[in-house]
Structure 1
Amino acid sequence: MKVLLLVFSSLLVTNVAKAQTTYEVLGQKPVKPAQKKLPVEAVVSSLILELQQHYVIPEVGTKMARKLKSQLSTYDTITSHTKLAAELEKDLKSVYPDKHLYVSYDPDFFQPGKEKTEAEKAENRNRELVSLKEQNFMFTDVRILPRNIGYVRINGFFVNRIEDARPTVNAAFRFIENTKALILDLRSNGGGNPKMVNLVESYFFKDSTHINNFQDGSSNKIKKIFTNPAITGGLTLSMPLFILTGKRTFSGAEAMSYDLQQLNRAKVVGDTTAGGGHLTRAFALKEGFVAEIPYADSVNPYSGKNWELTGVIPDVASLGGDALIKAQELIYQAELSKTLSDREKATILWQIDHLKASHVNQPEISLLKKYCGKYEGGSEVFLIDGALHLKNGEMDGDINKLIPINNKSFVWDENIHIEFEENVRKGLVLKFIFMGGHVREKSKIDWRFR
């Protein structure tokens, strides 16, 4: 029996080897199962139809349609839904780089005959509301900066039901209503609902003000947009306004920046924005594909233009990360030009130095070593990990890291700056400079000029 099994196994191996040899001789390999071909023509035809009916610049929509038709044979070779969507979008943007134009594969977006029930719609709205509340309706930071400057950071206008957001918006602006100036931070704001934009803009005008126009691409009909003081709960913010922008500021956030800039209601500080001036809407295509197609243009009633492709150009250019510092400095400089009090001028200059502290390179270690040592009153200066630290002998040995303003001046805390001064009579002097201008001095013990 064992002999028969061995003979059978030997014959099986020999036959397999012969079969492999036969394929090699004939130059053939086992055929893989064919991948399912995508319904390219149906998808492309439906996309072309929506572009021709709705795209905001009709002649560009026609060019896009021609581009898609010319690429049909290429699309036929694609077997992945997501890859096809990406290729369609890439080819559309090669005609015109519209940042509001997208193509995706989302079979759940619209299913004929499977419309959601009212109960399902209500459940979706509730889920959305819970999510928006967790994000505080995108009002991510509201605070008072030194010298009574208000700061509000809004990271998006993605709110469909404006009534849900209004109490949060009103509370944020009530908090800063008594400030001398307001900084509105839109550097990470990617836009959203135009109605949410209009709600926020309305707080900055006492009367209804014509602020923007929306022009439909297919009909050329114009919808005029006005601020609405009736929706702000009686609150009007009239203080000087500064808007921070960055490269990620997009769409509705650009609209707000541009609108308020053109009306001279705000000064824009930061980077040139992304450059998306169109309004967009989602359209269901065939076979589960979806296209976000820009259908209308923003046209400012005062400039007759918008920020499409160019972006919003800031009044004061500053790298995105430095824009907040720059805006505060502009506010302080404006205050400085108006005040007549020497004490007030000293306080403002102190605050300007304080702003610069975190943006100055660390002084040379050799200079820092010269400041190290013991001073009158039990104060001591020393280095830890290359940074200067000060122990205050009059405050139970409290130790603070010194943040450089320049080579001889440092921030000790929110109220006090430190300055090292070489004095012919006193030697090296440690000066405590208080926000209001008061100065206390302590000489270094056993100081010798070097």
Structure 2
Amino acid sequence: MKIAEQAKLQNYGFSKTEILSGNIGYLALNGFFDLNEQSKRAVNSAFDFLINTNALIIDLRLNGGGQADMVKYISSLFFKDSTHINDFYLKQTNEIQQIWTEPRSQSDLWSIPPIYILVSAYTASAAEEFAYDMQSLHRAIIIGELTTGAAHPMQIINIGYGFTAYIPFARPINPLTKTDWEGCGVKPDIAVSANRALNSAIQCVYRQQINSTDTSTANSAKWMYFIYKSKLNPYKINLKRLKRFVGNYGGNKISIENEYLIYNTANGYRAKLVPISKTTFTLDSPLDNREVIFRTNAKGRPYKMYLNFNSSLPTGFVRISKGFIKYNKPLTNTRL
């Protein structure tokens, strides 16, 4: 299969775009492919989808590198003016090639922070260059593990007797640090294991939004941050106590599956409930952060359920029946 066909099948490295709770943009980029009209369209489409988000997370944890011209093209999205991001020293000609971003009409839309870049020990080469450049220019916060440390581009040289060798023919020189990441990797601003990097970035966004001067934004971020932390570290409730909540609350039915409560509506929406306290739960759905609050009598038996979002006035539903409810329909919009 030709390289161009492989690139197209992999969507030029863009494996996922998503808008997370709190209007956080998430983009998984698994490679920096050759720059051409098709790959440019993929870049523009991915970033256009996320253009109205309040923050951006770029995931390079599975990105082993690629082409420097694609690094330049993507970097140009984040600088309003032409910006010196890197140099390449070419050994054979003893020349230095400067790399500058190109002004783009969309650049001012991405000129505000925060931008978070996720990295791992697998992140290498061009992916490291992008992270290193953005970090050096204080344009992004790097979260994750120390990267591979592969800065010098290589070429294959025939050394005779059937042997070949990979020999570096150039090296990058960052205009600010005057060095590169060869052998030492890109050091993250926030060091966490790769599998915790996304959670760490999301919490960073919420903490940043909590400090907003806009009261509505700050209050919403506090709510999201609390709910998110609760989902990461659920409150423990044993199965016997969970069974007490099963029943019909004004048409909203609570069932139990695999030792989890499930919230069911008449129109077929279903989501796992994550416990926050003895009587309070949150819906485990990326785009649904409502609280489900149960009111209990002196014996601990629920008699009413409330749905609450962002500390607004909750809606109450009286319990009209109890007992085990069985559903065969799969969960909707959930990560169970």
2:290 is aligned with 1:409: no
Structure 2 residue 142 is the aligned partner of structure 1 residue 142: no
Q: 1:312 aligns with which of 169, 186, 194?
A: 186
Who is 2:70 aligned against? 196
Q: Aligned partners of 1:227 and 1:398: how far apart in 2?
A: 46
Structure 2, gaps ≥5 residues long: 323-336
Residue 328 of structure 2 corresponds to none
Counterpart of 2:195? 321
CA deviation after TM superposition for structure 1 residue 412, in Å? 5.4
C-alpha deviations, 1:241-284, integer Å up to 9, x for none? 21111121111111110111111111112222122222222223
- CA-CA distance at 1:335 after TM superposition: 1.6
User: Structure 1 residues 371 and 303 mapped into 2: Cα distance closer, same or farther (>3 Å)?
Assistant: farther
Aligned equivalents of 1:249, 1:130: Cα separation in 2: 24
What are the residue-to-residue correspondences of 1:106-255 with 2, within 5 Å?
A: 127-159=2-34, 161-216=35-90, 221-229=95-103, 232=104, 234-236=105-107, 237-240=110-113, 241-255=115-129
Displacement after TM superposition at 1:322 (Å):
2.6
- Going from structure 1 to structure 2, the CA distance change for 1:435 and 1:155 (only over 3 Å counts) comes to same
Alpha-carbon shift at residue 340 of structure 1 (Å): 4.4
Aligned equivalent of 2:330: none
Secondary structure at the aligned position of 2:5 is classed as helix
Q: What is aligned with 2:130?
A: 256
- Alpha-carbon deviations, 1:283-333, whole Å to 9, x = none? 234355432222322222212232222221212223222322322222222
The CA distance in 2 between the partners of 1:281 and 1:157, in whole Å, is 18
1:212 shift after superposition: 1.4
| Contact kept in structure 2, 1:356 and 1:405, CA below 8 Å | no
Q: Secondary structure at the match of 1:402?
A: strand
Higher strand residue share: 2
What residue is the counterpart of 1:269 in the other structure? Answer: 143
Residue 377 (1) aligns with residue 250 (2):
yes
1:405–1:139: structure 2 CA closer, same or farther, 3 Å change rule? farther
Select which of 308, 319, 327 maps to 1:433. Answer: 308
Name the Cα RMSD after superposition. Answer: 3.3
Partners of 2:148 and 2:183 within 8 A in 1: yes
Number of aligned positions between the proteins: 315
Contact 1:182–1:242 (Cα < 8 Å) also in 2: yes
Contact 1:162 1:196 in 2 (8 A): no
Amino acid at match of 1:146: S
The one-letter amino acid paired with 2:135 is Q
Which runs of 5 or more residues in structure 1 are unaligned?
1-123
Q: Which amino acid aligns with 1:410?
A: T
1:136 CA displacement: 1.3
- Rounded to whole Å, the distance in 1 between the matches of 2:229 and 2:176 is 37
Indicate which of 398, 415, 418 corresponds to 2:292: 418
| Identity rate, percent | 33
Q: Deviations over 1:71-92 (max 9, x none)?
A: xxxxxxxxxxxxxxxxxxxxxx
Q: Write the letter of the residue equivalent to 1:351.
A: M
C-alpha contact 1:299 1:305 (8 A) present in aligned 2 = yes
Match of 2:238 in 1: 365
> What displacement does 1:365 show?
1.7
CA 169–379 in structure 1, closer or farther in 2 if over 3 Å, else same = closer
Please identify which structure carries the higher helix content: 1
**If the length of structure 1 is used for normalisation, what is the TM-score?**
0.61
Cα distance in 2, alignment partners of residues 178 and 216 from structure 1: 40
Report deviation, 1:182. Answer: 1.7
Between stretches 243-252 and 370-379, larger displacement belongs to 370-379
* Matched AA of 1:178: N
Does the 8 Å CA contact 1:375/1:442 hold for their aligned counterparts?
Answer: no
Contact 2:116/2:143 (8 A) holds in 1: yes
Given residue 152 of structure 1, which amino acid in structure 2 is its aligned partner? L
Q: Is 1:351 equivalent to 2:216 in the alignment?
A: no
Q: Is this contact kept in 2: 1:371–1:381, CA < 8 A?
A: no
Q: Deviations over 1:192-229 (max 9, x none)?
A: 11111111111111211111122345776433222122
* Cα distance, 1:398–1:211 mapped onto 2, change above 3 Å: closer
Find out whether 1:400 has 2:271 as its counterpart.
yes
- 2: distance between equivalents of 1:174 and 1:378? 40
Distance in 2 (alpha carbons) for counterparts of 1:243 and 1:405 = 30
Shift in Å at residue 396 of structure 1? Answer: 6.2
Contact 2:210-2:219 within 8 A present in 1 as well: no
2:207 maps to amino acid: Q
Q: Distance in 2 between matches of 1:382 and 1:163?
A: 51
Partner of 2:259: 386
**Structure 1 residues 337 and 391 mapped into 2: Cα distance closer, same or farther (>3 Å)?**
same
